[in-house]
């Protein structure tokens, strides 16, 4: 099935759903936007993001070839439990949730007749909601796809076409590996940003001048602490073991640096920090 022949139900009109709508409208056979929040539906209508916007999930699912689930992870899990039971079962199902093991497990239990595939576009902002949606949000980013054994070549090919249409690069990956790696690249940075804000906030309760001394370095390092909490909580709780392992890794790294600092071992500290600077600088899109 080609994207231009596919009628899409986009479930969730937030940052992800809105940004997907920017790319998919006019490139598919019809785009229905669904959100339980009438204000988001109204907003999608007035921005002409979708061909039709509704709060009626069942009718949208009944009337599509592909459902894209663009809600927080635990809302995706609960939707997947309802498809083909108290909600219509669309032929193709793609989600864009930030953790994949729990989603793929839930997809595994879908009734026959559904052709599901997991997805995770690696783009985002610490802001959320439809107002924050951007036409170019996916441009140049990686879009992980986690097919199941039951995923057909047709579903995979449709998902890949969709990814390319959004201007992103598909990366097919095992769900477990995905979750292990994003714990380090995404969930850990969030918790570190929150931990930094906590440390500064505590100190500022005694010395409020602290905030006058927070410049761009603090701002960037703490940016993710402003992420949507419900979304992040879903992520953390569906990827708990990997997040804890990632926290363990960073704790060990910080302890090692602290030891060298305490010992005044300048040479060793220089070596460590220089190596990390090179690692950081050599990453694509480094700065």
Task: Write out the binding residues for its own copies, residues 222-241 only, by CB under 8 A.
Answer: 222-227, 229-230, 232-233, 236-237, 240
| Closest approach of its own copies to the CB of residue 279, in Å | 5
Collapsing DSSP states into helix, strand and coil, what is residue 11? strand
100 binds its own copies (CB under 8 A): no
Of 200, 180, 155, the residue nearest 3 (C-alpha): 155
Stretch that binds its own copies, among 23-31, 33-41, 86-94, 195-203 (CB under 8 A): 195-203
Measured over the CA atoms of residue 202, residue 205, residue 210 and residue 214, the dihedral's sign is: positive
151 binds its own copies (CB under 8 A): no
Nearer to its own copies, 112 or 215 (CB): 215
Of 227, 207, 197, 233, the residue nearest 75 (C-alpha): 233
Tokens of 86: 């108290």
Quick check: 144 and 169 in contact, CB under 8 A? no
58 binds its own copies (CB under 8 A): no
| 163-182 binders of its own copies (CB under 8 A) | 171, 173, 177-178, 180-182
Other beta carbons within 10 Å of 112? 8
Instruction: Tell me the C-alpha distance between 39 and 47, whole Å.
Output: 12
In the list 125, 160, 161, 165, the residue contacting its own copies (rule: CB under 8 A) is 125
In the list 51, 126, 160, 161, the residue contacting its own copies (rule: CB under 8 A) is 126
Collapsing DSSP states into helix, strand and coil, what is residue 69? strand
Instruction: Tell me the C-alpha distance between 100 and 50, whole Å.
Output: 27
In the list 105, 141, 152, 165, the residue contacting its own copies (rule: CB under 8 A) is 141
| Closest approach of its own copies to the CB of residue 142, in Å | 5
| 252-281 binders of its own copies (CB under 8 A) | 253-254, 257-258, 261-262, 264, 266, 269-270, 272-274, 276-277, 279-281
If residue 261 lies in a helix (H) or strand (E), which one and from where to where? helix 240-262
| Closest approach of its own copies to the CB of residue 190, in Å | 7
Collapsing DSSP states into helix, strand and coil, what is residue 214? coil
Nearer to its own copies, 46 or 212 (CB): 212
197 binds its own copies (CB under 8 A): yes
CA triplet 4, 5, 9: central angle to 5 degrees? 90
| Closest approach of its own copies to the CB of residue 66, in Å | 25
Instruction: Tell me the C-alpha distance between 147 and 170, whole Å.
Output: 12
| Closest approach of its own copies to the CB of residue 144, in Å | 7
Nearer to its own copies, 69 or 188 (CB): 188
| 4-33 binders of its own copies (CB under 8 A) | none
Tokens of 216: 């761009």
| Closest approach of its own copies to the CB of residue 130, in Å | 18
| Sole residue written with tokens 């809302």 | 75
């Amino acid at each position: 099935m080609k994207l231009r022949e596919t009628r899409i139900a986009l479930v969730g009109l937030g940052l992800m759903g809105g940004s997907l709508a920017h790319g998919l409208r006019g490139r598919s056979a019809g785009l229905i936007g669904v959100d339980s929040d009438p204000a988001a539906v109204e907003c999608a209508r007035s921005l002409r993001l979708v061909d039709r916007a509704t709060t009626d999930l069942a009718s949208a699912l009944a009337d599509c070839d592909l459902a894209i689930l663009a809600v927080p992870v635990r809302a995706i899990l609960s939707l997947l439990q309802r498809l083909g039971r108290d909600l219509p079962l669309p032929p193709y199902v793609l989600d864009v949730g930030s953790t994949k093991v729990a989603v793929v497990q839930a997809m595994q239990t879908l009734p026959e007749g559904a052709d599901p595939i997991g997805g995770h576009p690696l783009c985002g902002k610490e802001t959320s909601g439809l107002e924050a949606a951007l036409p170019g949000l996916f441009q140049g980013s990686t879009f992980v796809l986690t097919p199941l054994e039951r995923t057909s070549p047709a579903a995979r090919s449709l998902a890949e076409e969709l990814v390319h249409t959004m201007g992103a690069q598909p990366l097919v990956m095992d769900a477990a590996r995905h979750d292990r790696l994003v714990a380090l690249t995404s969930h850990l940075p969030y918790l570190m940003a929150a931990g930094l804000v906590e440390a500064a906030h505590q100190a500022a309760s005694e010395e409020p001048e602290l905030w006058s001394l927070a410049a761009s370095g603090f701002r960037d390092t703490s940016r993710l602490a402003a992420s949507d909490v419900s979304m992040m909580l879903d992520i953390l709780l569906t990827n708990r073991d990997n997040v804890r392992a990632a926290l363990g890794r960073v704790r060990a790294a910080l302890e090692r640096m602290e030891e060298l600092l305490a010992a005044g071992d300048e040479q060793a500290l220089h070596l460590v920090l220089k190596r990390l600077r090179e690692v950081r600088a050599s990453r694509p899109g480094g700065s």
